[in-house]
Amino acid sequence: MLRGDKIAKAKGKLGVLLPGMGAVTTTFIAGVESIRKGLHKPFGSLTQLGTIRLGKRTDKSAPFIKDFVSITDLSDIVFGGWDIFEDDMYAASKNSSVLKPEDLEPIKDFLSSIHPMKAVFDQKYVKNLKPVWFKDLDNKYDLAEALRQDIRDFKEKNGLARVVIVWAASTEAFIKVGDVHQTLESFEQGMKDNHDDIAPSMLYAWAALKEKVPFANGAPNLTTDIPALYELADINNVPLSGKDFKTGQTLMKTIVAPGLKARLLGLNGWFSTNILGNRDGEVLDDPASFKTKEESKLSVLEHILQPDIYPDLYGNFYHKVRINYYPPRGDDKEGWDSIDIFGWMGYPMQIKIDFLCRDSILAAPILLDLALFMDLASRADMGGIQEWLSFYFKSPMVAPELNPEHDLFIQQAKLKNTLRYMMEEEQVTHLGIEYYEK
Ligand X SMILES: NC(=O)c1ccc[n+]([C@@H]2O[C@H](COP(=O)([O-])OP(=O)(O)OC[C@H]3O[C@@H](n4cnc5c(N)ncnc54)[C@H](O)[C@@H]3O)[C@@H](O)[C@H]2O)c1
Residues in contact with ligand X by CB under 6 A are 19-25, 82-85, 96, 119-121, 126, 129, 168-171, 200, 218-219, 244-245, 247-248, 278-280, 283, 359-360, 362-363
* Least distance in angstroms from the C-beta of 293 to ligand X: 6
* Least distance in angstroms from the C-beta of 161 to ligand X: 25
* Least distance in angstroms from the C-beta of 149 to ligand X: 16
Largest CA distance in the chain: 74
Task: List C-alpha distances in Å: 334 to 168, 323, 357.
Answer: 21, 10, 6
**Whose CB is nearest to ligand X?**
22
Indicate the pairing of strand 332-342 with strand 266-276: antiparallel
* Least distance in angstroms from the C-beta of 121 to ligand X: 4
| Closer by beta carbon to ligand X, 20 or else 214 | 20
| Closer by beta carbon to ligand X, 29 or else 257 | 29
Side-chain half-sphere exposure of 118, counting CA atoms within 13 A:
10
Task: List C-alpha distances in Å: 119 to 87, 252, 332, 357.
Answer: 12, 34, 27, 30
* Least distance in angstroms from the C-beta of 101 to ligand X: 18
CB-based contacts of 347, cutoff 8 Å, min separation 6: none
3-state helix, strand, coil in the chain (%, to 5): 45, 20, 35
Indicate the pairing of strand 117-118 with strand 266-276: unpaired
| Closer by beta carbon to ligand X, 171 or else 254 | 171
| Closer by beta carbon to ligand X, 359 or else 425 | 359
Contact 387, 377 (CB under 8 A): no
| Closer by beta carbon to ligand X, 30 or else 52 | 30
| Closer by beta carbon to ligand X, 253 or else 420 | 253
* Least distance in angstroms from the C-beta of 223 to ligand X: 11
Helices (H), 87-183: 89-96, 101-104, 108-112, 140-157
